[in-house]
Amino acid sequence: MTSVLRSENLTKRYGRRTALSGCTLDVPVGQVVGLVGPNGAGKSTLLQLACGLLEPTAGMIEVLGERPASGSARVGFVAQDAPVYAGLTVAEHLRLGARLNPSWDSAIAEQRIAQAGLDPSQKAGKLSGGQRANLALTVAVAKRPELLLLDEPVAALDPLARRLFLQALMELVAEQEMTVIMSSHLVSDLQRICDHLIVLVGSQVRLAGDVDDLLASHHRLIGPRRESVDVASYGWTLIEDRHTAAQSTLVVRSTAPIDDPSWQADQLDLEDILLAYLSESAPAAAPERVLEAQR
């Protein structure tokens, strides 16, 4: 399996502020990749580095086997807030795409505009947030990129528009051979459509992996309250722990099935897993840790 995006120790600083630090990733091709993290975690920075709008301060990034440069025919990008030219009409945006991209597929563009119910003669500045997001996505998709980067594409949309947008995106991915990396600070947006997830917290990668693997390897363990659990001796990685007077609840990562009868093991859904990683107490990029139960 080849990589669509590979980075090593990728770091971006704006003056003294670090937006992304030591980011090492290997994203396989042909998937829908979710990039999750709270606001300010470095999602936009990572995506803009990937499309060449930003230059890394340190480290290496390779997209489709090349150093990213803006103006590439192989990468499509829809920036945060889906910028469009307010003074240009919908039809003029399509014309812009056709003029500026040799690989332009006008059939897809026309079809998507019709599907989204956009009036070609309307000025883009007068579109609603959802319509604007659809227009920006159309321009990015009709370019027929191998990799489509979407930065918070549904953030401005209401729940219904959000669902429609994601549905349209899924259809596109099914029709075209295209890898999609989309960021969101909302887990629920991603769990429906993503095959691969990257969790960014505080400018660092906290978790990266295929959704199926993540689901199979994370467990919620409930058992009587313990003073301390040496999770490492079981071959587990502790993600989160909570304790009440009577019982301890752990979220652990383990590739092997949990066979210790003193714990009741439950499956977690993706949202639970991500929330465990996003919570403050979670460890950075999987160090082994001995649990000290709190009194």
Partner 1 sequence: MTWLAWRQFRTQAIVGAACLAVLFGALLFTWWQVRGLAVSTGYTGCTGNDCQNAADSFLDEIEQSLAGRVQLAGVGASFGLPALVGVFWGAPMVARELETGTYRIAWSQTVSRRRWLLVKLSVGGLAAVLVAGALSLALTSWAQPIDDAHATLAHANLITPLVFSTRGVVPIGYATLAFAIGVTAGLMLRKTLAATAVTLALVVATQIGAVELRPLIADPVHRVTALTAERANMVARMNDVVTRVEGWPSETDSWELSNTIVTTPGGPEYRGPTDQEKCTPDCREWLGAQGLLQEERYVPARRFWLVQWRELGVLLTLTAALSLISLWWIRRRPA
Closest among 230, 263, 233 to 249, alpha carbons compared: 263
Cβ distance to partner 1 smaller for residue 134 or 248: 134
Cβ distance to partner 1 smaller for residue 16 or 99: 99
Find the shortest distance in angstroms from Cβ 20 to partner 1: 15
Query: Which phi and psi (to 5°) does residue 194 adopt?
Result: -90, 145
Whole-angstrom Cα distance, residue 153 to residue 197?
16
Find the shortest distance in angstroms from Cβ 24 to partner 1: 23
Find the shortest distance in angstroms from Cβ 91 to partner 1: 12
Query: Which phi and psi (to 5°) does residue 6 adopt?
Result: -130, 135
Q: At what angle do helices 106-115 and 90-100 cross, to 10 degrees?
A: 160
CB 208 within 8 A of CB 286: no
Find the shortest distance in angstroms from Cβ 159 to partner 1: 25
Q: Which residues of the chain form contacts with partner 1 (CB under 8 A)?
A: 48, 51-55, 69-73, 75-79, 81, 83-88, 92, 95-97, 99-103, 136, 139-140, 143
Whole-angstrom Cα distance, residue 186 to residue 159?
12
Q: Which two tokens stand for residue 138?
A: 């159309």
Cβ distance to partner 1 smaller for residue 81 or 272: 81
Find the shortest distance in angstroms from Cβ 233 to partner 1: 50
Cβ distance to partner 1 smaller for residue 59 or 202: 59
Listed in sequence order, the residues at least 6 apart from 259 whose beta carbon sits closer than 8 Å to its beta carbon are none
Q: Which two tokens stand for residue 226?
A: 């313990």
Cβ distance to partner 1 smaller for residue 151 or 240: 151
